[in-house]
Amino acid sequence: MAMDHKNGSLEKVGVVKGEVNPLDISIAVRACDADAVPSVLERLSSFGKTPPVERDDIRLAMLADARTLVRALETPRETMIKHNWAQPACHAAITTCYNAGVLDLLRDGPMKVDQLASKLGMHREVLAMGYIKETDVDEYAPTNFSKALTIPIIGDGYPCLAGGAHTASTKLHEYLRQTQYATPSDFAAGPYQYAFDTEMNLFQYMHAHPPLGKQFDHHMGGYRQGRPSWMDPNFYPVKEQIFAGMDTSEDSVLLVDIGGGLGHDLGEFSAKYPDAPGRLVLQDLQVVIDGIKQLDPKIERMNHDFLTEQPLKGARAYYMHSVLHDWPDDMCANILKPLAGAMKRGYSKLLINENVIPDKDADWQATALDVLMMALFASKERTLTQWRQLLETPELGLRIVRVWSAEHSQESLIECELV
């Protein structure tokens, strides 16, 4: 877009060289979708004056309408400023406060900026305030949001992604321009390596630059909080699908969590099914296993690189949560081959807990993550068709039995078995 300062209009350069379509600047300063406002307001008003927001279905429906209303009322100029000024500045401010310890000090009540600066040994001008409550001149109080950030699995996402991820998103447009906008597919030489000027992938880079690796492991436990869990009866019938028919011998393995990080999923599973038959095994790289401070003693820890042979043969279920979306298709095949080779036909199941992007009306969290996966891993979030193309190949010998989902869950559980 080029601006003609004489007549205050924008000129949009078309695909054909030399083709110019004049566009009046007034489009940028009018509401994006004024026609949609009445219907959105009507939907919001239908919830009443005191809607039961403790119910997720009500809260999420209202939130979707509220976001639609904001997008409709904002002008294109305001949306542009939000994307390019407010959102980066907000993330920078929150990360600064988190790293400096501001949010910990502020947790118990209002404090003056000078008090905070004095206690932290900082200049008052450096204190970036965001998402907290202004109670007086230069005085701020905590909110539920700022209090939640003092919990590491919530707050650590900010410095972790700021230090080891966001540069790849910022420079994605440069990388794509240099590659003539070809879809990234090289995990070892993709947008991430270009942005960080490294030969390492994200996992290697973060663990080579502490505390990013530890913060990333925390973030993986935090992002899934509050989401419907695959192991709940209204999502996936665990007892009917994997307990029933379980080998009852003493050494039998019930569930192997591959690339399971700090063990959040297996810990939840053990708490919800304390009498589950068989062994529960957490597998990840040694650097991750060594970082576990607390884990249910019933869960076995095992150092394992999922690109190598799976040492546990014939388990009842092998489980992966948000693993395959980190890898392009060719690398996923390399991960799945040793896994399929360890499965027992007619007995073992592969459970993949990931997004299955719908062909229409995809959730914003999934689509945002799709772009992030491209920037970080030269990978993607997948549709059901793409999952079938990945999993149901002669080389792997797998078939999708069913895709299980629950209301208000962005993620699904893809249940597979050997053909």
The CATH number of the domain holding residue 362 is 3.40.50.150
Q: Which of 133, 150, 167 is the last residue of a domain?
A: 150
Whether residues 207 and 319 fall in one domain: no
Q: Is residue 37 part of a domain?
A: yes
Q: Is residue 88 part of a domain?
A: yes
Q: Give the separation between CA 330 and CA 390, rounded to whole angstroms.
A: 9
Q: Which of 131, 150, 169 is the last residue of a domain?
A: 150
Backbone angles phi, psi at 414, to 5 degrees: -95, 115
Whether residues 330 and 393 fall in one domain: yes
Q: Is residue 229 part of a domain?
A: no
pLDDT at 5: 35
pLDDT at 33: 93
The CATH number of the domain holding residue 105 is 1.10.10.10
Whether residues 405 and 324 fall in one domain: yes
Q: Which of 74, 95, 128 is the last residue of a domain?
A: 74
Whether residues 24 and 168 fall in one domain: no
Q: Is residue 322 part of a domain?
A: yes
Whether residues 296 and 373 fall in one domain: yes
Average pLDDT, the chain: 89
Q: Give the separation between CA 322 and CA 377, rounded to whole angstroms.
A: 13
pLDDT at 252: 97
pLDDT at 127: 56
Q: Is residue 317 part of a domain?
A: yes
413 and 403 Cβ atoms separated by less than 8 Å: yes
Query: Each residue's pLDDT tens digit in the chain (419 positions)?
Result: 333 333 333 333 333 444 556 778 888 888 989 999 999 999 999 999 999 999 989 999 999 999 999 999 998 888 888 888 788 888 888 888 888 888 899 888 899 988 888 898 887 765 554 578 888 888 888 888 889 888 898 999 999 999 999 999 999 999 999 999 999 999 999 999 999 999 999 999 999 999 999 999 888 888 778 788 999 999 999 999 999 999 989 899 999 999 999 899 999 999 999 999 999 999 999 999 998 989 999 999 999 999 999 999 999 999 999 999 999 999 999 999 999 999 999 999 999 999 999 888 888 888 889 999 999 999 999 999 999 999 999 999 999 999 999 887 779 999 999 99
Whether residues 309 and 377 fall in one domain: yes
Active site residue 219: no
Whether residues 61 and 47 fall in one domain: yes
Whether residues 402 and 384 fall in one domain: yes
Q: Is residue 230 part of a domain?
A: no
Q: Is residue 233 part of a domain?
A: no
Whether residues 22 and 136 fall in one domain: no
How many domains does one find in the chain?
A: 5
Whether residues 60 and 101 fall in one domain: no
pLDDT at 20: 59
Q: Is residue 340 part of a domain?
A: yes
Whether residues 252 and 361 fall in one domain: yes
Which position among 166, 219, 304, 325 bears the catalytic label?
325
Whether residues 317 and 403 fall in one domain: yes
Q: List the domain range (segments joined by +) for residue 22.
A: 1-30
pTM: 0.79
